[in-house]
Amino acid sequence: MNQESIMKRRMVTAIALCIIAIVGMLVFIGLYIDEKNSVQQTYRSQYHTSLKHVSDDVTSYLEAEGDKEMRYTRLVSDMSNAGSFAFLIDGFTEKQIIVNELSTCLLKYPDQMKGKLEDVKTAVDDMQQELDKGYEKAKEIVDSVDKKGN
């Protein structure tokens, strides 16, 4: 064997290893993208479940005769949970801001928000169905709150 033949064999081996490495990298990239999409789907599912709980909590609060404070606390907790999942969803920034503002208003201004719970329920139901009018309604509710009051 001469030097030229050895070099050709080494080049062929190096090219084959490079191709195998590229294919392996593409497989792992594909697996990463698939897992990322799966996780995002889980976050969306949890977000919608949290919104359903908020809607149920509002109904429970409005129909309650007993411990309304506990029911309101549960409502605030579930809305905060929805805001947490909204934070984890990619490409959801504008809607996330609205969800977090609504959650903040429920937490900081309970006296004002208790009178707007039917509107909150309508907005949350529309948000759960992924309708933009739900987010617009939630923004209107947030804007109607006197942030200098209770």
Mean pLDDT of the region 125-135: 90
Confidence of residue 1 (pLDDT cuts 50, 70, 90): low
**Read out DSSP for 13-32?**
HHHHHHHHHHHHHHHHHHHH
Quick one: average pLDDT of 64-76? Answer: 85
CA dist 12 and 19 (Å) reads: 11
Band (98; pLDDT cuts 50, 70, 90): very high
Structure tokens at 110: 């309970």
Task: Say if residues 88 and 127 touch (Cβ distance below 8 Å).
Answer: no
Q: What value does the mean pLDDT of the chain take?
A: 90
For residue 65, what are its two tokens?
A: 């005769």
| 115: DSSP letter | G
Which tokens is 145 given? 């709150």
pLDDT for residue 24 is more than 90: yes
List pLDDT tens digits, range 43-58: 999 999 999 999 999 9
Chain centroid to Cα 63, Å, comes to 29
